[in-house]
A and B are shown apart, each in its own frame.
Chain A
């Protein structure tokens, strides 16, 4: 296993550490000595905000807009101005911590792209040793995967457009004439993604053995090679 999303986890650890540093620094440099637990509760309430979520390159980033927690505390302390003078910075630290999260999330995008490029086969197939082929449609023939070819061609295969509507229509047309063949009648099994990427994919293999259809929860990628990835001697 060992395939959790290390980049995202590191980003949130980084965010929490920086928030704690900012919070602790604010606490230490404050002239008046305040009870730590009170200040911490104020900080936690300050985190509550109305935020705007947007999707940037399939990553959801949430930008805080309205400081709801801070406003609540302002109301709460409206008759005790001196107390609020002591506490307000901690409430704002809470509110701004949401920006730190937004920033670290934004940071993961280029980092992910460099370490685990989404459009490269090696991200989804870390090691070819345990990979084998599974027939998932009756039109598939008995074929055996050639590990050497997969290892070599994996790096040379080129991305091609997915003609989803055409492929679907072809199959429907064929079914009206009788027996239907599936364009991708095999699946690769035993596939592990690159360590720490968390990028589990379902990989279909084309009937001619030359195409891989990599299906992730977010996107689909289609790669073609010049040669089939099957062993030649098997049932030819």
Chain B
């Protein structure tokens, strides 16, 4: 029978086609990043209420598939678009009308701090801290001591309102160390080492902590696609050692 003989080759062809399509969909190289005008149009298009972006300030490539796009918004705010290459197109995964520092995980061992701060906050620099709180644990005879970790990276905020700080290898290592057994593979922690967090200290020209009220709180954001993004909270001098 002709029909029966056709089944196997047809099946093989369909299977190859599916594999090829999947490969094409997930592994094809990103196309050229869109022009500013197209970025603006797309973000205004998908943001609920529309018309948030007035001017695109820059497009900073964190890697081949992740681009940070700081912009000035139509109501005088400084915001940011988080663009990713996914399913054969460039798309804004997340849009924020305020640009307080955020941490973006672009790969399991790759973290970037990104920001776009309002110039009226008059910040001179930001100190970013990687912290693990000191702790101890006693269960029966078994003692565990968790040493305090406090590391600092300073960035200058005077030249531009926006910026990117790709974390150093040692910070990436600390954040991804497997620290405890209780790691649930289903529930994925932002940092594989749950004892560690990152915070920042906004400093004015007198090197004093100032609350950047124009850049923090009261913004609107919209998440369009999956993105590993986390807030960075402000830390006080009293919390430092």
Kindly provide the distance from the CB of A222 to the nearest chain B CB, expressed in whole angstroms: 8
Contact A182 B148 (CB under 8 A): yes
Contact A183 B147 (CB under 8 A): yes
Verify if A167 is at the interface (C-beta below 8 Å from B). Answer: yes
Within 8 A of B (CB), among A145-196: 161-165, 167-168, 171, 175, 179-180, 182-185, 187, 189
* Cα–Cα, bound, A217→B173 (Å): 16
Contact B145 A213 (CB under 8 A): yes
Contact B145 A167 (CB under 8 A): yes
* Cα–Cα, bound, A183→B136 (Å): 13
Given contacts A180-B148, A202-B179, contact A164 B137 (CB under 8 A): yes
User: Of the candidates B147, B173, B174, which one forms a contact with A137 in the assembled complex, judged by CB atoms under 8 Å apart?
Assistant: B147
Verify if A144 is at the interface (C-beta below 8 Å from B). Answer: no
Kindly provide the distance from the CB of A208 to the nearest chain B CB, expressed in whole angstroms: 14
Contact B174 A165 (CB under 8 A): no
Given contacts A180-B148, A185-B147, A213-B145, contact A137 B178 (CB under 8 A): no
Given contacts A165-B138, A171-B148, contact A180 B241 (CB under 8 A): yes
Given contacts A164-B144, A180-B148, A189-B170, contact A138 B241 (CB under 8 A): yes
Verify if B220 is at the interface (C-beta below 8 Å from A). Answer: no
Verify if A109 is at the interface (C-beta below 8 Å from B). Answer: no
The size bracket of the interface on B is 20 to 34
Contact B181 A218 (CB under 8 A): yes
* Cα–Cα, bound, A161→B149 (Å): 22
In this complex, how many residues of chain A approach chain B with their Cβ under 8 Å: the count is: 32
Within 8 A of A (CB), among B139-160: 142-145, 147-152
Contact A220 B148 (CB under 8 A): no
User: Of the candidates A161, A204, A217, which one forms a contact with B147 in the assembled complex, judged by CB atoms under 8 Å apart?
Assistant: A204
Kindly provide the distance from the CB of B168 to the nearest chain A CB, expressed in whole angstroms: 10
Verify if A215 is at the interface (C-beta below 8 Å from B). Answer: yes
Verify if A128 is at the interface (C-beta below 8 Å from B). Answer: no
Verify if B177 is at the interface (C-beta below 8 Å from A). Answer: yes
Mark contacts of B166-188 with chain A using CB atoms, 8 A cut-off: 1 yes-contact digit, 0 otherwise: 00001001100111110000000
Q: Report which B residues bind A (CB closer than 8 A).
A: 134-138, 142-145, 147-152, 170, 173-174, 177-181, 241
